[in-house]
Amino acid sequence: MRRTTVRIDETLLNEAKAYAARNGRSLTSVMEDALRQLLNRSTEAAQRPHVELPVSEEEPGYQAHVQVRLDRGGSLTGIAWDLDDDERLGVGLSDAAP
């Protein structure tokens, strides 16, 4: 084991000391664990495969049945409360014209 000197924010140091005391641990063990977790997280993130998110080609806006109600003066909150399960799922809404 090697000794070293580090500069650390006083508030952070006090929080780490308090954490160590609450958990019956040494400040050194708390700092070592924190550093290990940081390094492991960085390694795990680098090993994760890149995820390509889908991008919609649709025009932005509300679904037709929601837009109809908004055009009639409804509020989004009111519409959300009034929707039945079929409307929430977009089932059988071909008659949503004004």
* Domain, as residue range, for 38: 10-47
Q: What does pTM read for this prediction? A: 0.46
Q: Do residues 82 and 55 make contact, with C-beta atoms less than 8 angstroms apart?
A: no
Residue 17 belongs to some domain of the structure: yes
Return d(Cα 87, Cα 93) in angstroms, integer.
7
The reply to whether 43 and 66 lie within a common domain is no
At 70-79, the pLDDT tens digits run 999 988 888 8
Return d(Cα 72, Cα 18) in angstroms, integer.
59
Helix (H) or strand (E) holding 39: helix 27-47
Q: Do residues 79 and 66 make contact, with C-beta atoms less than 8 angstroms apart?
A: yes
Q: And the tokens for 2?
A: 């090697």
Band (pLDDT 50/70/90 cuts) for residue 97 is: very low
Who wins on pLDDT, 1 or 96? 1
The reply to whether 35 and 59 lie within a common domain is no
> What integer pLDDT is reported at residue 88 of this predicted model?
59
> What integer pLDDT is reported at residue 66 of this predicted model?
86
The reply to whether 36 and 63 lie within a common domain is no
Q: Into how many domains does the chain fold?
A: 2
Residue 96 belongs to some domain of the structure: yes
At 8-65, the pLDDT tens digits run 999 999 999 999 999 999 999 999 999 999 998 878 778 888 889 998 888 888 888 8
Residue 42 belongs to some domain of the structure: yes
